């Protein structure tokens, strides 16, 4: 009798698993680069169109997307908005997207040449609101068709084929292939840091110092993980020289650095570590509180190098003097977009706050504990930051009782 019951239970589990598996529907992205036209042709292919009622896209106001063709209905009431209602069965939406994004100063946020393309996957597939049938799980992959002579493609997603990647973002219902991407004639360096597969890639001849970047990452990696306990499966770092934008910018699983950015600047901070903190912390601000996101990234860009043994005490004090001079005219940290002086003043405040937390807790806590708490929040406001800190302190904070935060 027991054997029959166990067999029946096993059968129920099998049928349940089969039913669950039947609800998985493939969504494939196919990308073909067209260097002569500075465009890519993108296709979204749904295995079962009836699984999705609609995808409503935000196309932006730059006119990057064009030539939409759909199985089913494509509705576009304005240049900024478009909706796809897939046909039943295997359904396809195709369009073209411009790759190069010039800035007013002649620099580029994304660029395509005859030999390579450097861009964000966020721009290949515009953000969209997904309305799907209940119980359906879309399984997304992206495949690239490279022009003749282009050797490889790198993304921050796990590779499941030569030019194919699995896209699985648990924070989104609609799995877009976000993050930095680089295709063409590339040079790469790879390493395993902790549990993370790290790739540093750049077009050949662009002057990106891949081994310098890898060495710096190895130097600070354990310190970053001590503060922000994450083990991303993969991290991609890309870069190029002029006329690309001369800075650094992070994505969810990747970051970009201009070829001329030093590992440590003359002012003692590290743009590479700054962007790495963004990748690991994923802290997002709200309510004119960008000082939190940028201030913490810059605070740890200094602090983690210091903890790793890369900064002496006199050098640290010289960095503080520079931050003080740079931010002397700042009278408020509250803004939607932090500037250099505001970020510098935020770093000084955070350094004083860390000191206050350590003294009042007799060394049991630090700003690290606050940062780990912020990682668990969807967005962080100044009020939420103060509340979390004062909860940890068990009372009000003298450092945070300042007109800078009002």
Domain ranges of the chain: 22-174, 185-260, 283-405
Cα separation, 406 vs 387, in Å, equals 14
Q: Would you call 86 helix, strand, or coil by DSSP?
A: strand
Token output for 21: 């598996």
Cα separation, 210 vs 216, in Å, equals 10
Residues in the chain: 406
pLDDT score of 240 more than 70 = yes
pLDDT tens-digit map of 257-286:
999 999 999 888 999 999 999 999 999 999
pTM over 0.85: yes
Give the helix/strand (H/E) hosting 385.
Answer: helix 382-393
Cα separation, 268 vs 313, in Å, equals 12
Its CATH class, for the domain covering 185-260, is alpha beta
Fold of 22-174: Immunoglobulin-like (2.60.40)
Q: Residue range 186-214: average pLDDT?
A: 96
The number of angstroms, rounded, from the C-alpha of 388 to the middle of its chain's C-alpha atoms is 25
pLDDT score of 231 more than 50 = yes
Cα separation, 183 vs 147, in Å, equals 10
Nearest to 188 by CA among 148, 236, 134, 228: 236
pLDDT tens-digit map of 28-85:
999 999 999 999 999 999 999 999 999 999 999 999 999 999 999 999 989 999 999 9
Exposed / middle / buried, residue 196 (Cβ in 10 Å: 0-12, 13-18, 19+): middle
Cα separation, 207 vs 242, in Å, equals 10
Cα separation, 344 vs 152, in Å, equals 40
């Amino acid at each position: 009798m027991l054997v029959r019951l166990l067999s029946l239970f096993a059968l129920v589990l099998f049928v349940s698993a089969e039913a669950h598996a039947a609800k998985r529907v493939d969504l494939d992205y196919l990308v073909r680069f067209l260097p002569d036209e500075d465009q890519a042709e993108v296709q979204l292919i749904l295995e079962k169109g009836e699984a999705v009622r609609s995808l409503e896209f935000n196309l932006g106001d730059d006119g990057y997307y064009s030539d939409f063709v759909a199985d089913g209905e494509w509705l576009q009431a304005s240049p900024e908005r478009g909706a796809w209602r897939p046909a039943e069965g295997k359904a396809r939406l195709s369009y073209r997207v411009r790759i190069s994004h010039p800035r007013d100063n002649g620099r580029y946020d994304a660029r395509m040449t005859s030999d390579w393309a450097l861009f964000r996957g966020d721009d290949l597939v515009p953000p969209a609101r997904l309305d799907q049938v209940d119980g359906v799980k879309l399984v997304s992959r992206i495949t690239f068709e490279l022009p003749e002579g282009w050797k490889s493609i790198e993304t921050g997603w796990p590779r499941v084929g030569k030019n194919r990647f699995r896209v699985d973002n648990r924070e989104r219902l609609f799995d877009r292939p976000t993050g930095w991407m680089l295709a063409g004639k590339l040079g790469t360096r790879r390493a395993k840091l902790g549990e993370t597969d790290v790739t540093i890639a750049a077009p050949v001849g662009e002057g990106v110092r891949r081994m310098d970047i890898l060495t710096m990452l190895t130097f600070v990696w354990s310190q970053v993980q001590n503060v922000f306990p994450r083990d991303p499966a993969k991290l991609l770092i890309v870069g190029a020289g002029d006329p690309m934008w001369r800075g650094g910018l992070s994505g969810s699983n990747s970051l970009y650095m201009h070829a001329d950015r030093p590992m440590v600047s003359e002012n003692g901070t590290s743009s590479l570590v700054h962007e790495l903190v963004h990748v690991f912390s994923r802290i997002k601000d709200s309510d004119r509180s960008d000082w939190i996101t940028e201030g913490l990234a810059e605070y740890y860009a200094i602090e983690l190098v210091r903890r790793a043994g890369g900064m002496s005490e006199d050098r640290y004090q010289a960095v503080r003097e520079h931050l003080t001079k740079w931010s002397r005219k700042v009278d408020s940290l509250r803004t939607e977009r932090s500037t250099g002086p505001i970020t510098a003043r935020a770093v000084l405040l955070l350094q004083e706050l860390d000191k206050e937390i350590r003294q009042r807790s007799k060394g049991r806590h630090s700003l690290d504990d606050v940062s780990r708490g912020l990682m668990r929040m969807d967005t962080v406001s100044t009020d939420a930051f103060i509340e979390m800190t004062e909860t940890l302190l068990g009372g009000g904070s003298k450092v945070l009782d300042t007109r800078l935060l009002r």
